[in-house]
């Protein structure tokens, strides 16, 4: 009877314990069901395992399909950093055997249990944690292995079959919850990605519409840079193929490339590339790089934003190509008008009408100066103020011809002649029609004369060559020629009542001898020398050299002829 009563008490105790365990499992299930964060779910599982089984430590490893092992993911009661970072190859140690066989294993003394394949890395970590008794059970959902749940003690202790079963029940709940939470997280991520993609698509569509509007309305690269800076809240620098800035936008757009690296040296392609703290993409058309877009002022660009930048580069290349084609058409149109004007085959009124159609139209009512440039004119570049005076320019009859607004002097063209190694003959003024044709012909003869005289890499008007400049001239303004050579002396005499011109005549009549000239003028030789020094100050050094002396003597003869 007493034995029966004892059996009944044990049965009731076991029933109460089982009821408590089931109640605890229900609580665990409820707690896991309310968890949405994967990390919190795992922490809940190991904490509950440690509490329900009554061990010192509980931990959980997850399966890594890529590496074919399991790795420590969550612990409760652990103190060893090495243990918390442990990886268990399949079949190695107790946990590796559970992972390989999908069956639970337990031991009251793991270090001395030879049933398991011990490895130094596992034994060292287990030893550092001080674990002795270990029970592990697999986490499996619909045949899919998820990981292993462990309960362990730092002293020897046996695990009853009821405890192993309880840990297995908890592992089943944990595996289902882990899979559900993973699926929920993946779904949320997919929805977020879809939402971001939708928002990105709308953003890209807005950018496409804005770029299309710029192109269709005839906007230039400045408008593209401004639109891109506004759409992405960045700074934008647009450069040409040589690295020269064409446009900037954004409040913090740099005036110089970062790090002293020229924009043109950036290794860019048709795809957006990260270079330091900036993004660079080439603007290419027909396989030719026309320029590059440089983006900055942002830590990162989303995939959608990167595609917007690349789209902007395509639109930029299109606008640059249109600009170049328009410039080429304008250049050809201007060259055609210039050729017709210099050939004299077109009515001047028709020329003026064609000029008014150019964009921008050059002035048509001004006096024209013709500059014929001979030499390698492939790299002719005008700078201010000549660029502001340019009416037409282009190749003609093997030379490069500039039509400039008058008055323009040869001195203003000297820098271009030296910089480009060109010989430039300057004539004018002229107007559209026969006078322009004559001025061009005279300038052509002038350039030929200059080259024969060895006067290359300089610009000169006919009067600058003295007698040589009069050769072949269709018409000579004698008074202008004389004033060009002797004007400074004539003005000095008129203003001061002196006769330096008379001294010059006497000097040349005396064979350029100041002493004999002094005798002819009944003056002291020192007085004549002083007058000649004054002439040098007015005409410049070198006027007594043979070539210039001849020009001065001819001018003196012409002056006498004019007066007579």
Same CATH topology for 344-462 and 478-563? no
Can you give the C-alpha Rg of the chain in angstroms?
49
φ/ψ bin of 301: left (φ > 0), alpha (ψ from -120 to 50), beta (otherwise): beta
Distances (CA, A) of 510 to 482, 520, 523, 546: 22, 8, 14, 15
Alpha-carbon span 349 to 355, nearest angstrom = 10
pLDDT, position 308: 81
Q: DSSP letters along 392-452, please? A: EEEEETTEEEEEEESS--HHHHHHHHHHHT-EEEEEEEE-TTHHHHHHHHHHHHHHHHHHH
SS3 140: strand
pLDDT, position 268: 55
Q: Which residues are CB-neighbours of 119 under 8 A, at least 6 positions away? A: 89, 92, 93
CA atoms within 13 A on the CB side of 429: 9
pLDDT, position 372: 86
pLDDT, position 512: 81
SS3 272: coil
Alpha-carbon span 553 to 508, nearest angstrom = 7
pLDDT in tens, 250-288: 877 666 655 444 555 555 556 787 877 788 888 877 777
φ/ψ bin of 290: left (φ > 0), alpha (ψ from -120 to 50), beta (otherwise): alpha
Which H/E stretch holds residue 557? Answer: helix 546-563
CATH superfamily to which 13-184 belongs = GAF domain (3.30.450.40)
pLDDT, position 195: 42
Structure tokens at 384: 């201010």
φ/ψ bin of 343: left (φ > 0), alpha (ψ from -120 to 50), beta (otherwise): alpha
| CATH node for 218-326 | 3.30.450.40
Name the one residue in this structure whose structure tokens are 């001018």. 555
The residues that bridge with 424 in the sheet, in sequence order, are 373, 459
What is the CB neighbour count within 10 angstroms for residue 14?
Answer: 11
Sorted by where each begins, the domain ranges of the chain are: 13-184, 218-326, 344-462, 478-563
pLDDT, position 36: 52
| CATH node for 478-563 | 1.10.10.2840
Tell me if the domain spanning 344-462 has CATH number 3.30.70.270.
Answer: yes
Q: DSSP letters along 311-373, please? A: HHHHHHHHHHHHHHHHHHHHHHHHHHHHHHHHHT-S-HHHHHHHHHTSSSPPPSSS-EEEEEE
Alpha-carbon span 103 to 83, nearest angstrom = 23
Residues in the chain: 564
CA 410 to chain CA mean position, Å: 41
Q: Each residue's pLDDT tens digit in the chain (564 positions)?
A: 555 445 445 444 444 444 444 444 445 545 545 555 556 778 888 888 898 889 999 999 999 988 999 999 999 999 999 999 999 999 999 999 999 999 999 999 999 999 999 999 999 999 999 999 999 999 887 778 989 999 999 999 999 988 888 888 888 877 777 776 666 566 555 445 544 444 445 555 666 667 666 666 677 778 888 878 787 788 888 888 777 778 888 877 666 655 444 555 555 556 787 877 788 888 877 777 778 888 888 778 777 788 887 887 777 777 777 777 776 777 787 888 888 888 888 888 888 888 787 777 777 777 888 888 888 877 777 777 788 888 888 888 888 888 888 788 878 888 888 888 888 888 888 888 888 888 888 888 888 877 876 778 888 887 776 655 555 455 555 666 667 677 787 888 788 888 888 887 877 777 788 888 777 778 888 887 888 888 788 878 877 877 677 677 767 776 665 665
Which H/E stretch holds residue 134? Answer: strand 133-141
SS3 462: helix
**Does residue 410 contact residue 460 with C-beta atoms inside 8 Å?**
yes
């Amino acid at each position: 009877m007493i034995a029966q009563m004892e059996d009944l008490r044990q049965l009731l105790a076991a029933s109460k314990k089982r009821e408590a365990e089931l109640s605890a499992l229900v609580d665990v299930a409820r707690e896991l069901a309310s968890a949405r964060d994967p990390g919190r779910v795992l922490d809940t599982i190991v904490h509950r395992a440690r509490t329900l089984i009554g061990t010192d430590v509980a931990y959980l490893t997850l399966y890594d399909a890529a590496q074919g092992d399991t790795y420590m993911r969550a612990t409760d009661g652990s103190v060893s950093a090495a243990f918390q970072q442990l990886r268990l190859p399949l079949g190695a140690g107790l946990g590796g055997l559970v992972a390989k066989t999908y069956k639970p294993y337990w031991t009251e003394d793991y270090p001395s249990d030879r049933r398991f394949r011990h490895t130094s890395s596992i034994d060292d970590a287990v030893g550092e944690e001080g674990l002795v008794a270990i029970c592990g059970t697999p986490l499996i959902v619909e045949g899919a292995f998820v990981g292993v749940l462990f309960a362990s003690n730092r002293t020897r202790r046996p695990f009853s079959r009821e405890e192993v079963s309880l840990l297995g029940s908890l592992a089943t709940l944990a595996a289902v919850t882990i899979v559900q939470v993973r699926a929920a997280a993946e779904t949320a991520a997919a929805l977020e990605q879809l939402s971001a993609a939708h928002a990105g698509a709308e953003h890209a569509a807005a950018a496409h519409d804005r770029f299309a509007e710029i192109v269709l309305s005839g906007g230039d690269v400045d408008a593209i840079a401004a639109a891109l800076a506004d759409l992405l809240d960045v700074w934008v620098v647009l450069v040409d193929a040589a690295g020269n800035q064409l446009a900037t936008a954004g409040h913090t757009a740099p005036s110089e490339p970062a790090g002293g690296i020229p924009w043109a040296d950036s290794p860019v392609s048709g795809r957006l590339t990260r270079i330091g703290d900036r993004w660079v993409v080439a603007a290419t058309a027909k396989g030719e790089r026309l320029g590059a877009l440089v983006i900055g002022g942002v830590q990162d660009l989303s995939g959608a934003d990167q595609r917007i930048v690349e789209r902007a580069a395509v639109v930029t290349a299109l606008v640059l190509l249109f600009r170049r084609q328009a410039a080429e058409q304008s250049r050809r149109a201007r060259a055609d008008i210039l050729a017709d004007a210099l050939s004299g085959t077109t009515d001047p009124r028709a020329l003026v009408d064609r000029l008014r159609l150019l964009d921008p139209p050059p002035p048509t009512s001004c006096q024209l100066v013709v500059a014929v440039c001979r030499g390698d004119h492939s790299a002719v570049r005008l700078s201010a103020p000549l660029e502001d005076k340019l009416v037409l320019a282009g190749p003609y009859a093997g030379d490069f011809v500039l039509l400039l607004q008058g008055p323009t002097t040869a001195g203003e063209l000297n820098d271009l002649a030296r910089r480009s190694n060109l010989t430039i003959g300057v004539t004018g003024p002229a107007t559209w029609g026969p006078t322009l044709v004559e001025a061009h012909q005279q300038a052509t003869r002038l350039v030929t004369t200059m080259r024969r005289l060895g006067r290359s890499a300089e610009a000169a008007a006919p009067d600058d060559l003295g007698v040589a400049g009069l050769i072949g001239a269709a018409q000579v303004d004698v008074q202008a020629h004389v004033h060009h050579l002797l004007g400074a002396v004539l003005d000095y005499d008129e203003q001061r009542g002196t006769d330096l011109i008379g001294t010059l005549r006497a000097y040349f009549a005396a064979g350029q001898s100041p002493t004999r000239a002094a005798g002819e003028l009944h003056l002291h030789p020192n007085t004549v020398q002083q007058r000649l020094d004054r002439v040098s100050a007015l005409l410049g050094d070198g006027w007594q050299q043979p070539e210039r002396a001849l020009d001065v003597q001819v001018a003196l003869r012409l002056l006498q002829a004019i007066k007579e």
